[in-house]
Amino acid sequence: MADPRFFAQAGPFTLAALADIAVAKLSPGSDPGLSLSDVAALDEAGPTQLSFLDNRRYLAAFATTRAGACLVHPDLAGRAPAGLALLLTPEPYRAFARVAAAFHPDPIPAGGIHPRAVVDPSARLGAGVVVEAGAVVGPGAELGGRVWVGPNVVIGDSVVIGDETRIGANASVSHAIIGRRVRIYPGARIGQDGFGFAMSAAGHLKVPQLGRVLIGDDVEIGANTTIDRGSASDTVVGAGTLIDNLVQIGHNVRIGRGCVIVALAGISGSTRLDDFVVVGGQAGFAGHLRIGAGARVAAQAGVHRDVPAGAEVGGTPAIPMREFKRLGAIWRLQALERLKGRKTQDDDKDK
């Protein structure tokens, strides 16, 4: 159960109402009027709480749960303990996301500018904007309705931020146009200079970075992630893309819609990710690459060549995942053979 000191609480909701929210069907015999107060994990839930099963590894916990109700795929409904009310859905985890958001809606701050915030008179603020203590909003900036600017945030000159975007404490945004409902988490840096130099033995000459950062609607940018502005063209993040903490995105990178980029990934300048690419943690990309739509890049992969649409790659340098797994099996066998050989030598020495 979520700690009420940190999370807003709504409800209770009836099972019928939760079925509507989850886009799920009640199992036969379930009481539509059952009142539920919160969500909880299978092994922690009580009779007034709702849980979910989305992974067969938790079937044992499902079989013994004390939850009042559970979201579950129809194929697994027969494994439920007697008396457990079921909400049947082919996508239990997505259904759980909807229900959890209903029980714990995002807080809605009261509009207003904190006395210790600094907002330039030429900035334009929409209705319901919140600017917290220590934040700075620069000249010509435009903040849409219900934008929430956290403590010590810096919004640079002429930045545009769409409705209902939230910016976490100590983040900074410059040279950027940001869409609606974007989440920028604490410490993120958006729009700073790209890493561009004309290199020479006589000394490296800084190349002016004259592009912007363009961020689409419904994007998430994790804590301490950095997105450099473009050098001549723009750095672009497409709508619905989710970027984890501690990700580095270089200048002129173009990221499509619905991509997922996991923590500690680094994308060098002018590389392009088409729509719905998935990038594992600590993966790295050389510059000027094209990663096709729907491609999947494994954690710690080092990508030095273009990746076709729909491909799965892993390893350094990155190769097709099937080949990478085959090589991994060979390497393990070779290692076992070496260990076996050493053991035989040691046994011979003992004789």
Domain boundaries, the chain: 13-103
| Gap between the Cα atoms of 342 and 76, Å rounded | 49
**What per-residue confidence (pLDDT) applies to 286?**
98
Name residues whose C-beta falls within 8 Å of residue 266's C-beta, 6 or more positions apart in sequence: 247, 248, 250, 283, 284, 285
Instruction: Measure the CA–CA gap between 280 and 284, rounded to whole angstroms.
Output: 9
Task: Tell me the pLDDT tens digit for each residue of 185-234.
Answer: 999 999 999 999 999 999 999 999 999 999 999 999 999 999 999 998 99
Q: What is the pLDDT of residues 49-78, one digit of tens each?
A: 999 999 999 999 999 999 999 999 999 999
- CATH number for 13-103: choose from 3.40.50.970, 1.10.540.10, 3.30.1490.100, 3.40.1390.10: 3.40.1390.10
Q: Report pLDDT for 331.
A: 86
**CB neighbours (10 Å) of residue 218?**
19
* pTM greater than the 0.85 cutoff: yes
**CA neighbor of 98 nearest in space, from 41, 23, 45:** 23
Is 251 annotated in the active site? yes
Strand-pairing partners, residue 107, are: none
Identify the pLDDT of residue 3: 87
Catalytic residue among 73, 251, 288, 304: 251
Torsion of CA 11, 16, 22, 26, to 10 degrees: 140
Q: pLDDT band at residue 254, thresholds of 50, 70 and 90?
A: very high
